[in-house]
Amino acid sequence: MIPTNSAERSLQDKLSAVAAKAPDRKQEIVDLLSDEQPRKSRVVEQSYSLCIWWEGCYYCQDDRQNWEQVKCFL
């Protein structure tokens, strides 16, 4: 996800700040998705370097340091 406006850039910055203090939850989301969305689980495992939980959603960061929303529970 490439930020196209300042709101998106702000969210990217916020997620990076959260990730600096939070544990990596990549394996947790991979395991969670493995039953209900196995293909998406493999994509997360192969495409992202780390994942975090923030405000009801899992976000994962790719190798270009961009965050993407992977799964939300609202």
Look at residue 36 and tell me if it is in a domain: yes
Could you tell me the pLDDT band of residue 2, with boundaries at 50, 70 and 90?
very low
**Distance from chain centroid for Cα 8:** 14
| 29 located within any domain | yes
pLDDT value of position 7: 64
The pLDDT value given to residue 74: 77
Specify the pLDDT at position 6.
61
Per residue in 3-44, pLDDT tens? 445 668 899 999 999 999 999 999 999 999 999 999 999 999
Overall pTM > 0.75: yes
- Is residue 46 a part of any domain in this protein? yes
Show the domain range for 11. 6-72
The count of structural domains within the chain is 1
Residue 1 lies in a domain: no
pLDDT band at 54 (very low <50, low <70, confident <90, very high): very high
